[in-house]
Amino acid sequence: WLWDYIIVPHIWRPYIAAKRLREQGIRGPPYKFLKGCNEDVKKMKDAADDLVLDVHDHNYLPRITNVDGEPFVYWFGAKPRICIFNYEWARQILSSKSGHFLKNDTTPTVLALLGKGLVLVEGIDWERHRRVINPAFTMDKIKMMTKTMVACAQNMVKELEDQASSNKNGETQVELDKQFQELTADIISHTAFGSSYKLGIEAFHAQKELQEIAVKSLLNVQIPGFSYLPTKGNWRKLTLEKKLRGTLMQIIQSRLSSKGSGYGSDLLGLMLEACIATDQGREQHQLSLSIDEIIHECKTFFFAGHETTSLLLTWTVFLLSVYPEWQARLRLEALRECGKENPNGDNLSKLKEARKLMSMVFLETLRLYGPALFLQRKPLTDITVGETKIPKDHAIIIPSAIMHRDKEIWGDDTDEFNPLRFQNGVTRAAKVPHALLAFSIGPRSCIGQNFAMLEAKSVMAMILKKFSFTLSPNYVHAPVDLLTLQPKFGLPVVLRLLDA
């Protein structure tokens, strides 16, 4: 036991891995028994935590990391992670269709949070899941969902409008980040679960708490078997997992029992149609999912589908508050394309065109404040990338947030907010066509990117047409890495009714 569970994985393998990498010139902080670098990373983050930035300063990297430049290795517990910064290597790894690069191992808490759905499944299972789910994300389907997105956004805007008009000056101060979280959860819940959206919101609250636990546990010392001990934290995690599963099961049961001519054309409906095909005794074929897989997919879509879009909206409002001239330009564009009407599939398509300012602003926000700070992969076998031999099972970290500031690729103004860099389209904004990694690239790139952009555009157009906004004096600029990039102290904003 000592040999298999302690000496080999926690002493022998890290020692050999470090030696092999050192021989190739890849260095990094020393491995520490059980802890790896987790404690040091935690200390480094704590030390940088007091660093508050000016709102015009978009280089928040010193708050979350102290690395750049050359590839190096660090230790997540006993597991080596090789951090690379090279765009060509990143392209090779992310675009590989050979199945040579898998998603990296994840901790049990992150797995409970995210579910073993499309983001984490591999190989033929991934192909099967993606085939079932792809039809829910065609542009036509997403355009049809605009109505739901707009209806949800209208409720939020109306509430804010009432708040503002009850004040003489037509102003209200709100924590917009929280509003966006509720709104995007509402939207994904309606679009994925239809009439069971209220249960979806319950699931969202359980998932939110699981996320907090996941963030806290991520940099803890990795003691083997610790997650199975009956601690208070592990108990809470188990209770939340049960609640989340139970709620999702309830949503599924209610859909199964209300079947009319089909299960519906939303995401859940599509997955259930695929599931029933298996249930009816056909062999596991290319278009089938089990109920358990559907539960995992629901978790995946709930997390991947609301948190990221809510952050895109949050950081965009932050930037438009700091650059009021851009806010005014976007308002004019929204009024020109949508007039007094609410956005709909057609006028939003116009805002979607690459040359539109709204698209450029969202892309620039994703470059500077993309929700995912890095991408991770691990090779299935020993592999050479560039001239570096990467042994199998060594995680590869592609730090998109750092790479989005590479001056050689993006030019000297990388730390500045300059949406016009995207005026000729996303592939011509930098020296390489795949420079923007916010949605990743290659076969595992984000399936929900069109959904997210359309949702963000609907919401932003509706806000811009009703309000002007500035940062509240209470806003503190301190972006923080909590699995995704978030404003540490939220986004308090003063909204002013335009026709006040």
Report the DSSP pairing between strands 101-102 and 375-379. antiparallel
The residue among 171 and 266 lying less far from ligand HEM, judged by its C-beta, is 266
- Taking each helix axis from N to C end, the angle separating 176-193 and 449-466, rounded to the nearest 10 degrees, works out to 130
By CB under 6 A, is residue 146 in contact with ligand HEM?
no
By CB under 6 A, is residue 41 in contact with ligand HEM?
no
Say if residues 181 and 306 touch (Cβ distance below 8 Å).
yes
Q: With the CA atoms of 323, 324, 330 and 336 taken in that order, what torsion angle do they form, in degrees rounded to the nearest 10?
A: -160
**Residues between 370 and 399 that touch ligand HEM (CB under 6 A):** 370-372, 375
Length of the chain: 500
Report the residue number whose CB is nearest to ligand HEM: 448
- CB of 137: closest distance to ligand HEM in angstroms? 8
The residue among 438 and 491 lying less far from ligand HEM, judged by its C-beta, is 438
By CB under 6 A, is residue 359 in contact with ligand HEM?
no
Strand, coil or helix: what is 180?
A: helix
By CB under 6 A, is residue 190 in contact with ligand HEM?
no
By CB under 6 A, is residue 289 in contact with ligand HEM?
no
Q: Tokens 């000297």, residue?
A: 412
- CB of 396: closest distance to ligand HEM in angstroms? 11
Distance set, CA 59 to CA 154, 478, 482 (Å): 34, 11, 17
Q: Residue 172's closest CA among 478, 487, 468?
A: 468
- CB of 164: closest distance to ligand HEM in angstroms? 27
Alpha helices in 323-396 (DSSP H): 324-338, 345-352, 357-369
d(CA 280, CA 295): 19
37 is in an annotated binding site: no
By CB under 6 A, is residue 342 in contact with ligand HEM?
no
d(CA 146, CA 152): 10
- CB of 130: closest distance to ligand HEM in angstroms? 5
By CB under 6 A, is residue 101 in contact with ligand HEM?
no
Residue type, 394: H
Say if residues 400 and 372 touch (Cβ distance below 8 Å).
yes
Cα dihedral across residues 375, 378, 219, 226: positive or negative:
positive
d(CA 196, CA 206): 16
Could you say which of 21, 312, 338, 491 contacts ligand HEM (CB under 6 A)? 312
* Maximal C-alpha separation, the chain: 73
Strand, coil or helix: what is 370?
A: coil
- CB of 338: closest distance to ligand HEM in angstroms? 21
By CB under 6 A, is residue 153 in contact with ligand HEM?
no
By CB under 6 A, is residue 319 in contact with ligand HEM?
no
Could you say which of 118, 160, 272, 289 contacts ligand HEM (CB under 6 A)? 118
The residue among 133 and 383 lying less far from ligand HEM, judged by its C-beta, is 133
Distance set, CA 449 to CA 117, 184, 374 (Å): 17, 14, 17
The residue among 102 and 164 lying less far from ligand HEM, judged by its C-beta, is 102
Strand residues in 276-417 grouped as ranges (E): 375-379, 383-385, 388-390, 395-398
By CB under 6 A, is residue 268 in contact with ligand HEM?
no
The residue among 35 and 457 lying less far from ligand HEM, judged by its C-beta, is 457
Q: With the CA atoms of 212, 215, 217 and 219 taken in that order, what torsion angle do they form, in degrees rounded to the nearest 10?
A: -160
Q: How many CA atoms lie within 13 A of 19 on its CB side?
A: 6
Contact mark string toward ligand HEM, 421..460, x via CB under 6 A: -----------------xxx---x-xxx--xx--------
- CB of 484: closest distance to ligand HEM in angstroms? 9
By CB under 6 A, is residue 164 in contact with ligand HEM?
no
Select the span of 140-148, 198-206, 369-377, 466-474 touching ligand HEM (CB under 6 A): 369-377
By CB under 6 A, is residue 187 in contact with ligand HEM?
no
The residue among 203 and 438 lying less far from ligand HEM, judged by its C-beta, is 438
Which residue ranges make up the site for ligand HEM (CB under 6 A)? 103, 118-119, 130, 300-301, 304-305, 308-309, 312, 370-372, 375, 438-440, 444, 446-448, 451-452
Q: Which residues are annotated as a binding site for heme?
A: 446
Q: Which residues are annotated as a binding site?
A: 446
